[in-house]
Amino acid sequence: MPVLEDLSLACADQSFTAVVGPSGCGKSTLTRLIAGLLRPDSGDILLHGEPVLGPRSSVGMAFQNPVLLEWRTIIDNVTLPLEIVPNDLSRAERRQRSHELLSLVGLGGFEDKRPSELSGGMRQRASLCRALVHRPEVLILDEPFGALDAFTREDLWQTMHTLRSEENITCLLITHDLRESVFLADKVVVLSGRPAHVQFTAEGGLGAERRLDDLYTPEATDLLHELRHQIEIAQGRSPADEQGESS
Ligand SMILES: Nc1ncnc2c1ncn2[C@@H]1O[C@H](COP(=O)(O)OP(=O)(O)OP(=O)(O)O)[C@@H](O)[C@H]1O
Ligand SMILES: [Mg+2]
């Protein structure tokens, strides 16, 4: 079954791209291709012009489920990638780097707790720190805030925006939350139904200093309206796809 077809997408260095689209259209498949966990049947995935042929440490990933190791403290969870990815840092430097990231996301003082002693939102913050601790150039986020309540999620948008600004990373976010895409991204891409291609792209984004209130400006409201319309078009393609599958 073809999942992605004729899909072309470019993400500028240090930009933030959000990808939205109907359930099952191939968003997670796209992230696995970019991360080098899957190989495309045809076409190329290029990172700085070089083909991606397998997983690499310069691409970090964070998922809906934080999957922290329960037997390790929070700081030891965050430091983990630095124990795996080759680097010249001493143990003290690794802990210092982890400590700085944890402080940045508001988890200063929770370093020695176990994951089960933290709330879902706090665990997700820790997992974002772990995804960034080895300074990847690219961070892929597959619905990282999907399992959180609305207020915690909005709080984490702000955290994510801070991390993105401080760490100078290129981000690709998969989300079903259109407000999240508009709040965080410089570019929002709507994928069509399966087999997915880029159906619609909106460039722009909010200012460097952004607040939740910015989502209620006329420009943001118009964009949200357009994105909703585009998703409906993308979903409208699904019945035709189901017929295609059975043939
Ligand atoms: N391991 C797999 N083996 C076979 N088919 C798969 C596999 N994983 C996903 N698929 C199929 O690929 C299609 C795309 O799946 P994918 O998980 O990429 O969708 P998605 O856009 O991330 O969906 P959602 O929004 O629900 O997370 C689906 O139709 C699914 O049936
Ligand atoms: Mg998915």
By the 8 A CB rule, do 140 and 57 touch? no
* Cis-peptide into 66, omega within 30 deg: no
Give the residue-averaged pLDDT of 45-53: 92
Asked whether 25 lines ligand 1 (CB < 6 A), one says yes
- Indicate yes or no: pTM above 0.75: yes
Residue 15: per-residue pLDDT: 95
Residue 147: per-residue pLDDT: 81
Q: Which atom of ligand 1 is nearest to the CA of 143?
A: 27
Domains of the chain (ranges plus CATH)?
A: 1-47+169-247 (3.40.50.300)
Does position 244 have pLDDT exceeding 60, yes or no? no
Q: Name the residue at shortest CA distance from atom 24 of ligand 1.
A: 23
Give the residue-averaged pLDDT of 98-116: 94
Q: Which residue has the higher pLDDT, 135 or 244?
A: 135
246 to 1, 165, 195, 235, 240: CA distances (angstroms) = 10, 47, 14, 18, 10
Q: Which residue has the higher pLDDT, 66 or 5?
A: 5
**134-159 tens-digit pLDDT:** 999 999 999 988 888 888 889 889 98
Give the residue-averaged pLDDT of 5-9: 95
Q: Which ligand is nearest to the CA of 22?
A: 1
By the 8 A CB rule, do 68 and 115 touch? yes
Cβ burial, residue 91 (10 Å; 0-12/13-18/19+): exposed
- Report the greatest alpha carbon distance in the chain: 60
Task: Pick from 28, 61, 65 the residue to mutate for probing ligand 1's pocket: most ligand atoms within 8 Å of its CB.
Answer: 28
Task: Kindly give the distance from the C-alpha atom of residue 89 to the centroid of ligand 2, in angstroms, as a whole number.
Answer: 35
**Least confident stretch, 19-33, 184-198, 207-221:** 207-221
Q: Which two tokens stand for residue 237?
A: 């393609």
Q: Which atom of ligand 1 is nearest to the CA of 30?
A: 18
Residue 241: per-residue pLDDT: 47
Q: Which two tokens stand for residue 144?
A: 């990282």
Using the structure block, give the residue that is written with the tokens 């017929």. Answer: 243
